[in-house]
Structure 1
C-alpha cells in the first residue's frame, strides 16, 4: 500500500499546556507556531510510518509578555539556543477511537521517550473535497526532566512553578494529493 502524506491544518489545530502556579492556581499557555506531518499506509492511521512535530519555542504565549520573556530565557527554554521542541513518533497504538502515541520528545537539547494519550476523532472529507483526520493528544511530563529547572519558593514554602506540565493538542491533518 502506498504511503499517504498528511500535513497540519493550522486553522483547526492548537497546542496548549497547563502548569500550577504557587500550587494554588493554574496558568495556561500555548504555542502559536508549530508543524505536524505524518505518513500512513492508508487513511486510518492504524499503520503510521512517521509522525513528526516541531514547535517554535519563541511562539510561546501565556497572555503575559513578561512571563513569556522569562520562559524564553535561559531559566527555562533557552529559546536563543534551542529554538524548537521536536517530537518524533515511534509507535501509535489505536484501538477504535483511543490509543497511545509513543515517541521521543526533545526540549532544550534533552531527548526523552514519552507516551501520550490519543483520541482519534476520525477521518472525513470536508465540503471542499479535502480528506481530514482529527486527533486530541494529551499527556503529562516533568519539566525538570527536560532541563527546565528554574524554581523559587515563597516565604510560606510554596513552590512558584509546578513540575508537572499538562499538554493538550487538538490536531487536524489534511491528506496530501499523491
Structure 2
C-alpha cells in the first residue's frame, strides 16, 4: 500500500464558522487564507492524516467593524496568535462516504481534542489532468474553551454571541507528485 500526498486547493476550498447572534439568528464567517496537506493510504482517508493552518487575520464576516473586533484580543487576538491549526490524530471510516476524525485544534494558544464528522466527496481528474479529492468536515467547539470570552448581556438577559460555534470545512485536495 502506498501513501498519497495531497495539498489543499484554496481556490476550491472554504473554511467557515457559524455562531448564533442574540440567540435569534446565525452569523457566518470564513477565513480567506489557509493552507493544508493530507496523506492518505491509497484513495481513502482511513488511517491518513490532515493538517491545516488558518491565518486568523483573514477572518471575514462581510462586516468590517465586526471583523476588526474578531481580530482583537477579545476574540482571536490575531496579532499575538496569527494562526489557528487543526491536526488529525485519528481518521476512521464509518461507511463508504462517512468518516470520524479526531483532531488537535489550537486557537489562541490553547489546544483541545475535538471530533469532526467527515463526508467524502469522491475523487476525480480536473480539466488539467490533476487528481482531486473532496472532503467536507463539520464540528463544534465552545469558544470559551479557547479564551474567546467576550460577550454582552442584552435586554431580557440573553447573550450577544453564543458560546457554541459550528465549524465547516469544504476541502478539495490536489494530489502531489
Q: Sort the TM-score into its range (normalised by shorter chain).
A: over 0.9
Following TM superposition, by how much is the alpha carbon of 1:175 offset from its aligned partner in structure 2, in angstroms?
0.3
Superposition map of 1:33-44 within 5 A: 33-44=33-44
- Structure-1 residue corresponding to 2:91: 92
Kindly report structure 1 stretches of 4+ aligned residues shifted beyond 4 Å. Answer: none
Q: TM-score, normalised by structure 2?
A: 0.96
Matched, 1:9 2:12: no
Say whether the 8 Å CA contact 1:44–1:123 is kept in structure 2: no
Over aligned residue pairs, what C-alpha RMSD do you find? 1.0
How far apart in 2 are the matches of 1:46 and 1:160? 40
How far apart in 2 are the matches of 1:74 and 1:144? 13
How far apart in 1 are the matches of 2:99 and 2:153? 38
- Structure-1 residue corresponding to 2:133: 133
Mean CA deviation greater in 118-127 or 100-109: 118-127
Matched, 1:145 2:154: no
Partner-residue secondary structure (3-state), 1:127: coil
Following TM superposition, by how much is the alpha carbon of 1:47 offset from its aligned partner in structure 2, in angstroms?
2.8
Say whether the 8 Å CA contact 1:93–1:101 is kept in structure 2: yes
How far apart in 2 are the matches of 1:150 and 1:127? 47
How far apart in 2 are the matches of 1:61 and 1:127? 30
Mean CA deviation greater in 11-20 or 125-134: 125-134
Say whether the 8 Å CA contact 2:45–2:92 is kept in structure 1: no
Partner-residue secondary structure (3-state), 1:70: helix
How far apart in 2 are the matches of 1:33 and 1:129? 25
- In the alignment of these two chains, the number of paired residues is 176
- Structure-1 residue corresponding to 2:116: 116
What does the per-residue CA deviation read over 1:25-53, in whole Å, with 9 as the maximum and x for residues that have no partner?
A: 111110000111011222222231x2100
Say whether the 8 Å CA contact 1:98–1:120 is kept in structure 2: yes
Partner-residue secondary structure (3-state), 1:67: helix
Partner-residue secondary structure (3-state), 2:57: helix
How far apart in 2 are the matches of 1:116 and 1:102? 6
How far apart in 2 are the matches of 1:45 and 1:77? 30
Q: TM-score, normalised by structure 1?
A: 0.95
Matched, 1:61 2:67: no
Partner-residue secondary structure (3-state), 1:46: coil
